[in-house]
Amino acid sequence: MKNVTVVGTGYVGMSLAVLLARDHKVTALDIDAGRVELVNNRRSPIYDAEIDRFFTSETLTLNATTSSETAYTDADFIVVATPTNYDPERNYFDTSTVEHVVRDAFAQNDKALIVIKSTIPVGFTAKLRAELNTDRVVFSPEFLREGQALKDNLYPSRIIVGGEHPRAAEFGTVLLEAAQNSPQVLFTGETEAEAIKLFANTYLAMRVAYFNELDTYAAMHGLDSQSIINGVSLDPRIGEGYNNPSFGYGGYCLPKDTKQLLANYDQVPQNLIHAIIEANATRKDFIAEDILRRNPKRVGVYRLVMKAGSDNFRESAIQGVMKRVKAKGVEMIVYEPELTEDTFFRSPVYRDLEAFKRDADVIIANRRTEALDDVAAKVYTRDLFGDS
C-alpha cells in the first residue's frame, strides 16, 4: 500500500483519488474547505455517477484536507491535478497553480515522486525540472470524458508516464493495477508525454470539426447528412468515433488544448492546427445563421452543459451560438436547472421546463432528448445519432 496525495478535486483529481483509494492510502488536498468536507462525507464535488457508486459501495481509504503539511509529509506519490485554463492574452496555459503545488510539494517532501496530471504546454515539465534541479517531477497525461472520469480511469485506453526518474515505472504499475482492463503502458520522455496529450485532443477536435463541416455542406445543399456520414464512417480506416454533428466542440479540454498546441507551433510551419480552431468558430456562425433563417421571435436554449451527464458550462458550443443569435437582437430564454442565477447573458433562466417549452417558439439543443419530444416541431438540433 502506497501513500498517495492527489492535489485538486476536479474531474482528474477526484476520479484518480477514488480509483486509487481502494488499494492505497489516499489524501485529497484542496484549498476549498467546502469540497474537502464533501469528500470526507463521501459526497462527490463533481458530477460522476461512478464516483457516487464507489462512495456508497466501495471501501475507500480516502481522506481530504486543506493542509498541505498533512497531505505531503508521508506521501510516496504526489499527483498534481489542478486546473490550467488557457490565457488568451498570454497565448499560454495558466500554469501558476501547477507551479505553486510542485514547488510546495518539492520543498515539503524530499522523497516523493511528483506526478503532474494537469494539462500543460509542451516543454513545461522539463523547464520546471531544470529550475528545481531534480528528476522527481514527471508528467502522466489523462484521457477522460466529462461525467465518466472514473469509468475512463477504470478502463483506460492507455497509460502513459513521461519522465526519467526510476519510480516513474512504479507509478505506471500503480495505475495499471487499479485498471479493470489491460491497457498498454507506455513510458516516454516527459516532453513527448505532454505532446501526446495535446495532439490526441486536437485530433479529436479535428474529427468533430470535420464531420460538422460535412454536415454544414449537406445542410446547405439539401442532402441527407446522416446517409453521407454513415457511408463515410463504414470505411474501417475512418470508423464511427466522433462523427455525430453538433454545434461545435467545447468543454474543459478541446478548446484550450487546441489553442495551446497552436501556441506551441510558434516558429513551426503549420496550416491544419489553425484551421481546426477556425472551423469551430465557422460552425457556430453557420448554426446561428441557420437558426435566424427561421425568423424566431424568442429562442429557447435547452441546457448550457456540453452533454448529458455533465455539469460543465465551460466553453460549451451552445453558448457560442447563443451569443451570435442574441447579437442579432433576438430575445432568448435559457433552461438550465444547474444555474443558481436568474439570468444568463442578460437572458432569463427558467427552471420550469414546461413553462420554457411554452414560451419559446424555437428551442436549440446541442443533443436530442426525450424531454423535448412533445415539442419536436420547435426543436433545432444537428444531432443525427442521439449520442453524446
DSSP 97: H
Do the Cβ atoms of 108 and 73 come closer than 8 Å? yes
In the predicted model, is pLDDT for residue 314 greater than 70? no
Measure the N-to-C terminal CA separation of the chain; round to a whole number of Å: 37
C-alpha–C-alpha distance, residues 345 and 294, integer Å = 22
In the predicted model, is pLDDT for residue 146 greater than 90? no
Range of lowest pLDDT (60-74, 88-102, 187-201): 88-102
CA neighbours within 13 Å on the CB side: how many for 243? Answer: 16
In the predicted model, is pLDDT for residue 284 greater than 60? yes
Mean pLDDT, residues 355-363? 97
Angle 29-110-82 from CA coordinates, rounded to 5°: 30
Angle 293-336-305 from CA coordinates, rounded to 5°: 80
In the predicted model, is pLDDT for residue 311 greater than 60? no
Report pLDDT for 353. 97
Q: What domains can you pick out in the chain, each with its CATH number?
A: 3-188 (3.40.50.720), 198-380 (3.40.50.720)
C-alpha–C-alpha distance, residues 315 and 253, integer Å = 9
Give tens-digit pLDDT for 217-248.
999 999 999 999 999 999 999 999 999 999 99
For residue 104, give the amino acid letter.
Answer: D
Its pTM surpasses 0.75: yes
Give tens-digit pLDDT for 245-258.
999 998 778 888 89
Report pLDDT for 306. 63
Q: Among 265, 231, 215, which Cα is nearest to 383's?
A: 215
Mean pLDDT, rounded, of the chain: 94
Band the pLDDT of 110: cuts 50, 70, 90: very high
Mean pLDDT, residues 170-186? 96
Report pLDDT for 9. 94
Do the Cβ atoms of 365 and 376 come closer than 8 Å? no
Do the Cβ atoms of 76 and 103 come closer than 8 Å? no
Instruction: Tell how strand 92-93 and strand 86-87 pair up.
Output: antiparallel
C-alpha–C-alpha distance, residues 79 and 4, integer Å = 7
C-alpha–C-alpha distance, residues 369 and 105, integer Å = 46
Catalytic pick from 253, 261, 304, 360?
253
Give tens-digit pLDDT for 46-80.
989 999 999 999 999 999 999 999 999 999 999 99
Q: How far is CA 301 from CA 134, 325, 364, 372, in A?
A: 51, 11, 5, 12
Mean pLDDT, residues 260-276? 92
Q: Among 204, 331, 323, which Cα is nearest to 258's?
A: 204
C-alpha cell at 143: 484521457
Is the CA virtual torsion 266, 269, 273, 274 positive or negative?
Answer: positive
C-alpha cell at 174: 500503480
H helices present in the chain, as ranges: 11-20, 33-40, 49-57, 68-72, 96-108, 124-132, 149-154, 168-178, 190-220, 225-233, 254-264, 272-292, 317-326, 353-359
Do the Cβ atoms of 108 and 143 come closer than 8 Å? no
Confirm whether 253 is a catalytic residue. Answer: yes
Is the CA virtual torsion 98, 205, 249, 182 positive or negative?
Answer: negative
352: exposed, middle or buried (C-beta count within 10 Å: 0-12, 13-18, 19+)?
Answer: exposed
Report pLDDT for 308. 59
Report pLDDT for 310. 57
Mean pLDDT, residues 95-101? 95
Largest CA distance in the chain: 65
Band the pLDDT of 312: cuts 50, 70, 90: low
Mean pLDDT, residues 323-350? 94
Q: Among 125, 117, 122, 195, which Cα is nearest to 156's?
A: 117
